[in-house]
Amino acid sequence: MEASVEQLVYVREDAYTVARMSADGVPAFVATGRALAGVQPGETLRLLGDWSTHPRYGRRFAVTECERVTPSSVRAIRVYLGSGLIRGIGPRLAYAIVDHFGEHTLKVIDAEPERLTEVVNIGPLRQAQIVQAWQEQKAIAALMVTLQGLGVSPLLATKIYQVFGADADEVLATDPYRLIGRVRGVAFRVADRIALQAGVPERSPQRVRAALLDRLEAAGSRDGHCFVPVPALVREAAELIEQDHELVRPVVDALAAERRLVLETSPDRPEQVVAYPKHVHSRETALTAQLAALCRARSTLPLRSYDEDPALHDDQRAAVTMALTSTVSIITGGPGCGKSHTVKAVAATVRAAGGSVTLTAPTGKAAKRLSELTGMPAMTVHRMLAQQPDPDPETLFDERPSQADLVVVDEASMLDLHLATRLTAAVRPGSHLLLIGDADQLPSIGAGDVLADLLRVPAIPRVHLTHVFRQADGSGIVDAAHRVRAGRLPGLPGGGGFWFEELDDPAQVARRVAHLAMVAIPRKQGVPPGQVQVLCPMRKGETGATALGRLIQDQLNPAADDKPEHWSGATVFRVGDRVMPIRNNYDKGVFNGETGTVTAVVREERAIDIRTDDGETVRYGFDELDDLTHAYAISVHRSQGSEYPFVVAPIVAESGGIMLRRKLLYTLVTRAKAWVVLVGQREALELAVHRLGHPRNTGLPRRLTLALSS
């Protein structure tokens, strides 16, 4: 039958789609199946399939084949143009265009687009915009057909077109491996499937090179490693393409000769050779040189003497002295040990002497919390780096934040190699760089483990704060955190803000976590559900952030006929949704970890509007929605640098509990200010407490130790 898509009801990550449809002579019905992948409201489809009756959802049409067709009736054309598929055309303009051209509308847009200016409110600029959008939609639709024929999800078509544009077909035909790392959602296996279908031989050097580079980059993005031992790299690449090691090993040397990767002696095992991605090696060597220069520089701090604050604890006074006398230094410590109060004392001393101070943190929430705890302005590291120096030499350093007399970086465990390299390049030699952090928390999402690495360099001064202050003594959260850090199980079921509720079945755990977050805790504490944050050790699985987030979204902000929404792949964005960016966007002024609420779906502009928690309105195009995630349930990694009044988390050994490690559990527990409730399996909790995880492969400690000793 031929039918029009009225609304998407559900899209699964494997592209299984449920859609409400309408067709002439047939009552409105529901169609289902993977063949519907990528369809959008307003499109007309030719469907092949079978009618069936679901015991819960009733009569539906199971689609086995789906072909997009050009709408032919005036009504179908009006719905198609008014659906938001073509940027620049909204419902009102769609009505005007169809009213003018009738059933010939789409032929006019395709073959005689200059005639669009005959319609009121369409000038040359709008006409050009509509034509461009029309051509893009045609290209994406054709790309979907190509991908479906290759056995690849059509949901990737838009993403591929965004990156490669009109060259997308050529890339798919000649070098599909270019998709890896450039198109979100395309891993090696997807690109390899396309390449093999396109005729690339299984033993071709092109395929081997792609496998090696993929495994090398994955070691950084997946596990945070800066390098991989060559034997391990060869083994992993050979397993990936199911070929022998002898085919792979020579290609490593060829890539090194082309400077696509760098080979070096292992910093820990002199008999072993390791491979770095070129950009990672450049950053590690640059960071080493920059830190060595900062350490050796003569202090320019305008401070001749200072009075010790008797209100500080002994280790806090030692930390203040260190920060004021060392150009690079580190203060570490767990929750409740007075790190922020120590920072406040250091900053106040420098300012009292006439010096300038910049307080920073890697995320917006961490910077805001630092400002609240110290009573002084703070900014993200990214904002600091984005502010260019004023050309006026008379300008105070406060106007050039990266070149202040004292630069403080809180939550320094979140600094990856890339950000740390940019940061140290911006700090003026002679300024004091003070890193504040908790090395027992999760390391950065990106490659490197900068804070832990610097703590392995003996020449860098550090103070570890250990005294837990009285106001934290009665906190069950602080007590549980210190127990976890020491490798001991917290007292169960808990008390004083820390609670563990034992459940075994993952499905039950997911439902209980959702109920606690949406109903039980808000009711008991008299707070809105937005005050309760669900944190998940994993992204996938029944208790992962994706499934739990969708469960909570469907109950807190369900679909409604009067509520605008837009599906982007398997994710639906509705007015009222809580969302957060997962990438920094300097043009929009939003940064990773900030949160906001969807306030509008602007179909005519193919965009959604978000009101940030700071009160700013930001617009994201439909083609930018990969940069957003829902904030109903997020990974523990995404929560770094943030604190929430109430935290609920599933603790389940799904998929072997691969993410359950001590640092992850410790980070999770320390995100809560009032309550943290863990729900799940006791054996999974014990696994998380006792499993240490693997250290990251980095060369920074050895490089910097050698540089500072020479």
Averaged pLDDT, 225-248: 96
Domain that holds residue 154: 144-198
pLDDT band with cut points at 50, 70 and 90 for residue 393: very low
Per-residue confidence band for 3, with pLDDT thresholds at 50, 70 and 90: very high
Vertex 639, ends 637 and 644: CA angle to 5°? Answer: 155
Stretch 195-213: mean pLDDT, rounded? 94
Domain end marker among 227, 245, 279 = 279
Q: How many domains does the chain have?
A: 6
Question: For 494-541, how does the pLDDT look when each residue is reduced to its tens digit (9 = 90+)?
Answer: 888 999 999 999 999 999 999 999 999 999 999 999 899 999 999 989
Domain boundary among 420, 453, 470: 470
Most confident of 137-151, 153-167, 480-494: 480-494
pLDDT of the residue at 172: 92
Residues 180 and 89 in one domain: no
The DSSP line for 638-704 is GGTT--EEEEEEEE--GGGGTT--HHHHHHHHTTEEEEEEEEE-HHHHHHHHH---------HHHHH
Q: Which of 37-46, 187-196, 585-594, 636-645 has the lowest mean pLDDT?
A: 585-594
Q: Rounded distance, CA 575 to CA 595, Å?
A: 14
Please check whether residues 313 and 429 belong to one and the same domain: yes
Locate 428 and state its tokens.
């003026």
Strands 596-602 and 578-581: antiparallel
289 found inside a domain:
no
Q: Does 672 fall in a domain?
A: yes
Q: Domain with 312 in it: what CATH number?
A: 3.40.50.300
Interval 303-320 mean pLDDT: 87
Q: What angle do CA 138, 150, 162 make, to 5 degrees?
A: 40
Phi, psi at 18, each rounded to 5°: -120, 125
Whether the predicted pLDDT of 414 surpasses 70: yes
Asked, for residue 542, whether it belongs to a domain, the answer is yes
DSSP labels for 195-238? HHHTT--TT-HHHHHHHHHHHHHHHHHHH--S-EEHHHHHHHHH
Mean pLDDT, residues 582-587: 80
User: Which strands sit side by side in the sheet containing 379-380, from one edge to the other?
Assistant: 379-380, 357-361, 406-409, 432-437, 328-333, 462-465
Asked whether residue 440 is domain-assigned, the answer is yes
188 and 230 inside one domain: no
Q: Rounded distance, CA 78 to CA 81, Å?
A: 5
The reply, when asked if residue 355 is annotated as ligand binding, is: no
User: Within this chain, do residues 350 and 316 fall inside the same structural domain, yes or no?
Assistant: yes
Give the residue-averaged pLDDT of 688-694: 92
pLDDT at 395: 38
Identify the helix (H) or strand (E) that includes residue 172.
helix 168-174
- Boundary of a domain, candidates 247, 279, 311: 279
The one-letter amino acid at 146: T
663 is in an annotated binding site: no
DSSP 118-151: GSTT--HHHHHHHHHHHHHHHHHHHHHHHHHHTT
Q: Which two structure tokens, joined as six digits, stand for 243? A: 């070929």
Model confidence at 10, pLDDT cuts 50, 70, 90, reads very high
pLDDT at 389 over 70: no
Lowest model confidence (mean pLDDT) among 95-104, 380-389, 566-575, 660-669: 380-389
Q: How far apart are the first and last CA of the chain?
A: 78
Q: What is the DSSP letter of 93?
A: H
315 and 437 housed in the same domain: yes
Query: Do the domain assignments include residue 618?
Result: no
Distance of CA 682 to the CA centre of its chain: 29
Tell me what percent of the residues of the chain surpass a pLDDT of 70. 97
Asked whether the predicted pLDDT for residue 568 surpasses 70, the reply is: yes
Do 57 and 7 belong to one domain?
yes
- Mean pLDDT for 675-697 is 95
DSSP type of residue 436: E
620 lies in some domain: no
Segment 276-287, tens digit of pLDDT: 999 999 999 999
Residue 169 has pLDDT above 50, yes or no: yes
Is residue 18 within a helix (H) or strand (E), and if so which, with residue range?
A: strand 17-23
For helices 245-257 and 205-223, the axis angle rounded to 10 degrees is 80
The CA–CA distances, whole Å, from 218 to 188, 204, 514, 658, 699 equal 10, 21, 33, 17, 18
Q: pLDDT value at position 397?
A: 40
Q: Are residues 355 and 301 in the same domain?
A: yes
Distance, in Å, from the CA atom of 85 to the CA atom of 302, rounded to the nearest integer, reads 61
- For residue 398, the model assigns a pLDDT of 45
Residues 358 and 256 in one domain: no
In sequence order, the β-bridge partners of residue 60 are 52
pLDDT in tens, 587-598: 887 877 788 999
Sheet with 261-265, side-by-side order of all strands: 228-229, 273-277, 261-265
- Residue 296 to residues 159, 451, 461, Cα–Cα distance (Å): 47, 19, 13
Position 147 pLDDT exceeds 90: no
Mark 310-342 as b/e (b = at least 16 C-beta within 10 Å): eebbebbbbbbbbbbebbbbbbbbbbbbbbbbb
Separation between Cα atoms, residue 454 and residue 469, nearest integer Å: 27
Mean pLDDT value across residues 172-191:
90
Q: What is the pTM of this model?
A: 0.88
Q: How confident is the model at residue 307 (pLDDT cuts 50, 70, 90)?
A: confident
Among 102, 96, 138, CA closest to 117:
96
Residues 305 and 180 in one domain: no
Phi, psi of 404 (to 5 degrees): -65, 165
Q: Per the structure block, which two tokens stand in for 541?
A: 């699985």
Cβ count within 10 A of residue 635: 20
Q: Are strands 628-630 and 578-581 parallel, antiparallel or unpaired?
A: antiparallel
Report which residue type is found at 507.
A
Q: Is 339 one of the annotated binding-site residues?
A: yes
**Alpha helices per DSSP H over 427-505:** 450-455, 470-473, 476-485
CATH code: domain of residue 61: 2.40.50.140
pLDDT band (50, 70, 90) for residue 614: confident
Quick one: 456 and 486 in the same domain?
no
Residues 306, 349, single domain; the answer is yes
Please indicate, yes or no, whether residues 176 and 267 belong to a single structural domain of this protein. Answer: no
Mean pLDDT of all residues belonging to the chain: 91
The pLDDT assigned to 394 comes to 41
- Residue 581 belongs to some domain of the structure: no
pLDDT of 655 above 70: no
Determine the pLDDT at residue 396.
38
Query: What is the reported pLDDT for 275?
Result: 98
Binned at pLDDT 50, 70 and 90, residue 219 comes out as very high
Sheet holding 617-621, edge to edge: 617-621, 607-612, 596-602, 578-581, 628-630
In 3D space, the residue among 376, 343, 374, 352 whose CA is nearest the CA of residue 303 turns out to be 352
What is the chain's Cα-based Rg? 28
In a domain, 585, yes or no: no
Taking Cα atoms as reference points, which of 63, 97, 80 lies closest to residue 137? 80
**pLDDT for 569 beyond 90:** no
DSSP bridge partners of 450: none
Residue 91 vs residue 708, higher pLDDT:
708
